[in-house]
Amino acid sequence: MEWLLLLPVLFPFVAAILAVVLAVVSASQREKARRLEMAHRHHWAQQHGLHYTPNDRSIAALSLRAPFGVGSDRVGYDVFRGHHRGLAMVFGEYRYSTKSNDSTTVHPWQFVALALPTHRPALSISRETGGGIFSRRKGVQLESEEFNDRFRIETASERFAYDVLNPRAMEWLLADIRANTVGFRFEGQWAITVRAGNLRPEEVRFYADFLHDVIALVPDFVWRY
């Protein structure tokens, strides 16, 4: 029974060994699950005529606005490239990390982007969610009071904003149900929309169609100046 006397001494060592073993097993299971997930993503991409990249850090440069450009460990996770209705397309999951005390939080965002005909200044249109007159009197104000009430417009070029958000475009955005929930931006060579959360490939066509329809509203002369 002398071994019983050793239990208080041995227990911390045994517990430490078990913790290491469990950590190794857990990491192995996660790695196996990730390999299986990547295989499924690759197969899905082939079926849809897309190119798949499991990790792509170049996605961090897609935009300078949040959720891009914030946090650390910025990476495109499960990134797909191809074409949608004649326009180059890239979509996937963008991740960045933030630290608080001793914990690290990973923030996933789904993104869908379609290529513009040429580089253009930043222009962001989102649903105005604040309440009251003081919250909405921000950003660019257009001639449509109804549009100003419903949307927030931020831009690096007021000329570009006025040309893109012409009366026809404003009327369309006010009437289109998707615009009530989907914010979008033009930035550089891309039209982009993002959503907090993990990538859901079945949603991509919805967002890509919306972006394509928005781009189609822009007058041709806007791409020439």
User: Does residue 150 carry a pLDDT above 60?
Assistant: yes
Q: Are 189 and 87 spatial neighbours (Cβ–Cβ below 8 Å)?
A: no
Q: Do residue 3 and residue 63 come from a single domain?
A: no
User: Does residue 142 carry a pLDDT above 70?
Assistant: yes
List, for residues 61-79, the tens digit of each pLDDT value. 999 999 998 999 999 999 9
Low-confidence winner among 24-38, 81-95, 112-126, 182-196 (lowest mean pLDDT): 24-38
Question: What pLDDT does 34 receive?
Answer: 81
E strand segments, the chain: 51-56, 72-84, 87-100, 103-127, 151-155, 184-196
Q: Do residue 38 and residue 60 come from a single domain?
A: no
Q: Do residue 96 and residue 41 come from a single domain?
A: no
User: Does residue 138 carry a pLDDT above 80?
Assistant: no
Count: domains in the chain: 2
Q: Are 24 and 32 spatial neighbours (Cβ–Cβ below 8 Å)?
A: no
pLDDT, greater one: 14 or 113: 113
Q: Do residue 185 and residue 99 come from a single domain?
A: yes
Strand partners for 114: 89, 191
Question: Phi and psi for 209 in degrees, rounded to 5?
Answer: -60, -40
Q: Do residue 120 and residue 212 come from a single domain?
A: yes
Q: Do residue 168 and residue 114 come from a single domain?
A: yes
Domain that holds residue 33: 1-47
Which of these, 108, 38, 115, lies nearest to 82 by C-alpha position? 115
Q: Do residue 114 and residue 189 come from a single domain?
A: yes
User: Does residue 81 carry a pLDDT above 80?
Assistant: yes
List, for residues 161-172, the tens digit of each pLDDT value. 999 999 999 999
Q: Do residue 40 and residue 54 come from a single domain?
A: no
For the chain, what is the mean pLDDT? 88
Q: Do residue 159 and residue 107 come from a single domain?
A: yes
Q: Do residue 39 and residue 65 come from a single domain?
A: no
Q: Do residue 19 and residue 94 come from a single domain?
A: no
Q: Do residue 70 and residue 160 come from a single domain?
A: yes
Q: Are 138 and 152 spatial neighbours (Cβ–Cβ below 8 Å)?
A: yes
Q: How confident is the model at residue 135 (pLDDT cuts 50, 70, 90)?
A: very low
